[in-house]
Structure 1
Amino acid sequence: MKSLLILDSTLLLGNCVTTSRPAQPVTTAPFEMRLEQWTLFDSARQRAIPVVLYRPAHSNARSPLKPAILSHGYGGHNTDYTFLAQTLLAHGYLVASIQHELPTDAPMPTTGNVREVRRPFWERGVQNILFVRQALQRKYPRVDFSELLLVGHSNGGDTAMLFAAEHPALVARVVSLDNRRVPFPRAARPRVLTLRSSDQVADPGVLPTPAEQARFGTTLVPLKNTIHNDMWDGATAAQKAEMNAAVSHFLEN
C-alpha cells in the first residue's frame, strides 16, 4: 500500500491511520516551507493525534533532514509555534508539531501532588511522541532519526523531559521553553537547552545545579524581558528574535 498522503483519504501505517490536507506553501526568508495537517490514529489507544508538519518546499539530497517534534503548552495549539518551526527548518529539520490535548480530554488537575496527578498527562504525551516518531520514520525513511530533537513549551517541555528520561537513546537534543515540573536528565545525552522566563520558577530539583550544567553540557538561558506566557507566536518580534538566537546557537554548537 502506498504511504503517500492524499487529500481526504485514509492510510494504514501499521496500526496508524492518517488523513491529511495538501501541503500549503508559505514563503519565509530565505526559503519556502510547506505545511501539512495530519490526523494520525493510534488504534491501540483509540486516540486521534493531530499533527502539523513543517517541511522545506525543496529537498536537498546532499543534506538529509533531521526530525524535530514540537509539543505545545497546556491550553495551547500545535499551530502556536511557527516562529520556532521556521528556525528549525533553517537548520535542516523536518518539524512535526503535535496537538496533545483534544476537546474530549479531561482537564489537567490543579490540586494535589503535581508530579503525581499530572504524570498520566505527560505519559500520554510520551506515547503521542513515540507514535508520531514511528509515523514519520515510515513516511520519511531518509530522515536521520539518530538526530531527533524535542522542543516543548511549559507542560509540553515537561512531556519532552519525561520522554528524554524514559527513552534517552532516541533523543539527541531537547529544547525546553520554561518547563517547570519534570526534572532535567542528568546525562550527557540528550543535550539540553532551556529558555527560562522572567516570571516563573521551576520546582525544586527540576533544573540542574551550575555544577551539573557544566558536567552534562546543559545550557540555561534566562530571558529577562519574556514572561512564561509570551513564549509562543504571540511574542513580540524582539522576544522571538532572542529565543530564536538562543536556539540557533544551541543547534550550531
Structure 2
Amino acid sequence: MKRGISIFASLSALLVVGYFTATKWAIRHETLTFYDPARDNRPVAVDIAVRWDKEMQANAGMITLPVAILNHGNTVKFTEYSFLANVFAFRGYIVISIQHDLPTDPPMVTKVGELYVGRQPQYLRGVANIRFAVEEMKKVQPNADYNHLTMVGHSAGADISMYFAKLHPDQIKKVVTLDNLRVPFLTDGRFKILSFRSKDPAFKTDPGVIPPEGVREKSGIEVVQTTFQHNDMRDTGPDEAKASIKGILDKFLQDDSPLTPAEIKAQPEMADPGPVTPYVPVAPTPEMGKRVGSASSAVAAQQ
C-alpha cells in the first residue's frame, strides 16, 4: 500500500513539474485595435504574442523585452503568421503583428517603370502603421526595447520591413524577410539580414533586389534558397515548409553578436524614397490611442 502511495506521489510530482514546465513556455496572444487620429482615426489592429513568464518578468521590471514587428503579405491577415510569431515569442520577444491594409484602401497595382513598380505608397503606409503601433505599444508594454526592432515580413510585408529599415536604420536590430520582391537588401552591414527565397515561377524577384554573394558575405546577409512556393510561407503552408523555416530562424535568433559596418565598394544604391512620410506627430489627448479588443474582427488585406 505504501509503495502504491509512493508511486502515486511520484507520478503526481511529475505531472506538476510537467504542467509548470509547459506553462513556463506558454505563449499568450492578444489582439488590440488602435486608432490613429493623425489619419482620420484609421484603425490599426495588432496581434501581440509573448511568453507568459517573460511578460511577468518584464512587468516586474526584471527584464526588457526585445521587440519583433511582423508584417503580412497581400490578401493575408495579420494573424496568419503565428508559426513565425511563436518562434520569436519562444525566444523571449514580444511580437507585434500589424494589419496594414483595410478594405477601403486603394488596391495595390503594378506600374512598370515606376519605383518599386508603383507600390511605394503602400510601403509608406506600412511604415506609418508601424510607427504608430510602436508608440501605442509603449503604453501597453513599456518594458520593451522599441529602439532596436527586429523587422519580419512576407511578400509585400517583407518589402515593408526592408523599406522601414532603409528609412530608420538606427532603430533596427535584425531583419528577416520571406520573399521580398521589390525593395533591395541594405548592404551597409549595420545589422544582420536573413532572407528565405521561394522557388515559385509566379513570383519573380526584381533585378537588383538580392545583392551578389560576395557583397552578402561582407554585409551579414544570409539568403536561404528553398524549394517551397511563395504562399507556403504562412500558417496555411505545408508543415514541412514551416518546420524548415522555423528551424533556420531559431538558429539565426540564437546569435546576437553585433555586426560592424562592412567596407563595400560600388554597392547597389536604393532609390531615395523622398521626404514624404504619412506620419504626423500629434500631442496626446484623452481620445488618442483608444484601444478596443478586436480578436474576432481582423480584416483581409487588399491585393
TM-score interval, normalised by the smaller of the two chains: 0.7 to 0.9
Q: How far 1:250 moved relative to its partner? A: 1.1
- How far did residue 63 of structure 1 move? 4.2
Counterparts of 1:124-143 in structure 2, within 5 Å, are 124-143=125-144
Give me the TM-score of the superposition, normalised by structure 2: 0.71
- Separation in 1, partners of 2:236, 2:105: 25
Q: Partner amino acid for 1:245?
A: G
**Other-structure match for 1:234:** 236
Number of residue-to-residue matches in the alignment:
226
Structure 2 residue 223 is the aligned partner of structure 1 residue 214 = no
Q: Which moved more, 1:229-238 or 1:114-123?
A: 114-123
Matched to 2:31, the amino acid is Q
Q: Aligned match of 2:45 in 32, 44, 50?
A: 50
**CA distance in 2 between partners of 1:140 and 1:124 (Å):** 24
**Gap runs ≥5 in structure 2:** 1-21, 256-303
What is the one-letter code of the residue matched to 1:68?
Answer: A
Counterparts of 1:216 and 1:137, CA distance in 2: 31
SS in 2 for 1:240: helix
Deviation of 1:241 after TM superposition, in Å, equals: 0.8
TM-aligned CA deviation for residue 88 of structure 1: 0.6
The letter for the 2-side match of 1:57 is: W
Structure 1 portions without partners, runs of 5+: 1-27
Report SS of the residue matched to 1:60. helix
Residue 30 of structure 2 corresponds to which residue in structure 1? 36
CA deviations on 1:49-95 (whole Å, 9 max, x unpaired) are 11111122232355431111100001110010011111110111101
**Residue type of the alignment partner of 1:209:** P
Shift of 1:98: 0.5
Inter-CA distance 191–105: structure 2 relative to 1 (3 Å threshold): same
Distance 1:51 1:108 in 2: 21
The alignment yields a C-alpha RMSD, in angstroms, of 1.8
* 3-state SS in 2 of match to 1:213: helix
1:29 deviation in Å?
8.5
State the AA in 2 paired with 1:90. F
Superposition pairs of residues 61-100 of structure 1, within 5 angstroms = 61=58, 62-100=62-100
Structure-2 separation of matches of 1:145 and 1:246: 25
Once the two structures are TM-superposed, the CA of residue 238 in structure 1 deviates from its matched residue by: 1.4
Normalising by structure 1, what TM-score?
0.84
8 Å CA contact 1:173–1:189 kept in 2: the answer is no
* Alpha-carbon separation, structure 1, partners of 2:163 and 2:197: 18
Give the Cα separation in 1 of the matches to 2:119 and 2:31: 28
- Counterpart of 1:102 in structure 2 is 102
The match for 2:165 is 164
Moved more, 242-251 or 110-119: 110-119
Counterpart in the other structure of 2:183:
182
Q: Give the whole-Å Cα distance in 1 for the aligned partners of 2:212 and 2:166.
A: 18
Q: Distance in 1 between matches of 2:63 and 2:167?
A: 30
Greater CA drift, 140-149 or 232-241: 140-149
Of stretches 239-248 and 131-140 in structure 1, the one that deviates more from structure 2 is 131-140
Give the whole-Å Cα distance in 1 for the aligned partners of 2:23 and 2:209.
37
Q: CA deviation at 1:188?
A: 1.5
Which structure: greater helix fraction?
Answer: 2
The question of whether the paired residues in 2 share the 8 Å contact of 1:164 and 1:190 is answered with no
- How far 1:161 moved relative to its partner? 0.6
- Report the 3-state secondary structure (helix = DSSP H, G, I; strand = E; otherwise coil) of the residue aligned with 1:80: coil
- Post-superposition offset of 1:137: 2.3
1:113 correspondence with 2:75: no
Give CA deviations for 1:84-139 in whole Å, capped at 9, x if unaligned. Answer: 11111011110111111111111101343351521001110011111111112232
Q: Which amino acid aligns with 2:83?
A: F
Higher RCO (CA-CA < 8 Å; seq separation 6+): 2
User: 2: distance between equivalents of 1:131 and 1:159?
Assistant: 15
Code of the residue aligned with 2:246 in structure 1: it is N
Cα pair 1:67 1:149 within 8 Å, conserved: yes
Identity of aligned pairs, percent?
38
In the TM superposition, residue 237 of structure 1 has moved relative to its aligned partner by 1.6
CA drift at 1:243: 0.3
Letter of the 1:237 partner, please give it: D
Is contact 1:149–1:173 with CA below 8 Å preserved after alignment?
yes
